[in-house]
Structure 1
Amino acid sequence: MWTTMKMNRRNVLVGIGTAAVGSGAALGSGALTSVSASRDLNITTVDDNNGANVGLVADSPLVGTTTGNNGQTILQIDLNSLNDDATTTLSPAFTITNNLGEAVGVRIQGAPADVTIESNNNGHNLKSWPASGDDHSLTSGGSVSVDLIIDTSSVSDSDNTITIEASTAQSA
């Protein structure tokens, strides 16, 4: 014996709702529960065994230090500890000291576009060799404090390495 059910608005809505719940339970919601990525920024020196030419000192609690294979200091910033989709200023982030017996110019290379590197004293861009009067032209024993401005809305999810170069020929 067959019974027929009248087709009305309530029965149609109950049928659609039951189908939606059933398919959601069978197939899952597809919702993302978590994402994890390593985003580090490493700062090191070029051709500087044991920090003989340039000394690096972390000045911010967000900057850690480790020792590289040549004995040089490597500064590390875990970008995961910074706010997402924000601009964070570490002022000062670290200090560069000239350990040579003569004047040097320093510059910082390899910084991603979303990381601004400048002098803490006067905002000079440290991505190029110093011009006359710039405070990253260091006398023997001289130092410069460095600010990092990091825009995490566009920073890549991979490790980045920034290199500090010192040259006696580039001293202004």
Structure 2
Amino acid sequence: MQRRALLAGIGLSSIGVGAAFGSGAFTTVSANRTVDLSVTKDDGARIGFTPGNGASSIIGTSTDSSSVEVITVSKSDLNDRAKTVFEDALTVTNNGGSGDPAVDIYIEDESSVPVGAESADVLDLQTATDNNSIVGSTNAVEVSTDGGSQSLDVVVDLRDSSVDGNTFDDIAEITFVANSA
């Protein structure tokens, strides 16, 4: 009798362990993905954009004849229904001199562009130090003068069922706004 009870107990334990670990449910997964960011350099600009410390392979700089800084994001092999974070991808620097004021920077929040931290938003830029979105004027972060900088993470969130990679492709531009603090 004890042998049958032992075998039944082992069988039930196996079913329980199989149900718990064999369900495929997990909270975190890691995969290598790439995003290409390029910046057009404008040496005379008050605000400068440069590759972040963690972005040596995904961001580059170039000089454009129009002297306008342009950041281009293109995806490569991003998973649908996943959130992908490119840490420290971009650095925004205040090129003002010692007599100039600090600036508050944020991403212009336009309802037609799916950018921000809301569930249906595909692209977000967040501070690398505390992962707070900088989309919208209420989320502005201060960048001190005379070379002060803010590192940003690029977040692509395709977890919402109403968005996919095509939604990401539809983002033609985002606008950085800098106001005196």
TM-score interval, normalised by the smaller of the two chains: 0.5 to 0.7
Cα deviation, 1:40-92, whole Å, max 9, x if unaligned, reads: 987889xx96551101012212234344453133222221x242313211101
Distance 2:103 2:63 in 1: 23
Distance 1:74 1:67 in 2: 10
- Matched with 1:154 is 164
Q: Secondary structure at the match of 1:55?
A: strand
1:96 matched to 2:92: yes
Question: Cα 1:148–1:64, aligned 2, differ >3 Å: closer, same or farther?
Answer: same
- RMSD value over aligned CA atoms? 3.1
1:114 matched to 2:122: yes
Pick aligned residue for 2:59 from 55, 63, 69: 63
Q: Which has the higher contact order (CA 8 A, sep 6+)?
A: 1
Distance 2:91 2:43 in 1: 16
Q: Percent identity?
A: 24
- Structure 2 length-normalised TM: 0.56
- The aligned length equals 124
Pick aligned residue for 2:83 from 80, 83, 87: 87
Distance 1:64 1:76 in 2: 10
Question: Cα 1:159–1:148, aligned 2, differ >3 Å: closer, same or farther?
Answer: same
Q: Secondary structure at the match of 2:134?
A: coil
- Matched with 1:6 is none
Give the partner amino acid of 1:83.
L
Distance 1:49 1:93 in 2: 19
- Matched with 2:143 is 138
How far does residue 122 in structure 1 lie from its aligned partner after superposition?
A: 1.4
- Structure 1 length-normalised TM: 0.59
Q: Name the larger-Rg structure.
A: 1
Cα deviation, 1:90-132, whole Å, max 9, x if unaligned, reads: 101100001122211000125622112110011222113367x
- Matched with 1:33 is none
Unpaired runs of 5+ residues, structure 1, are 1-39
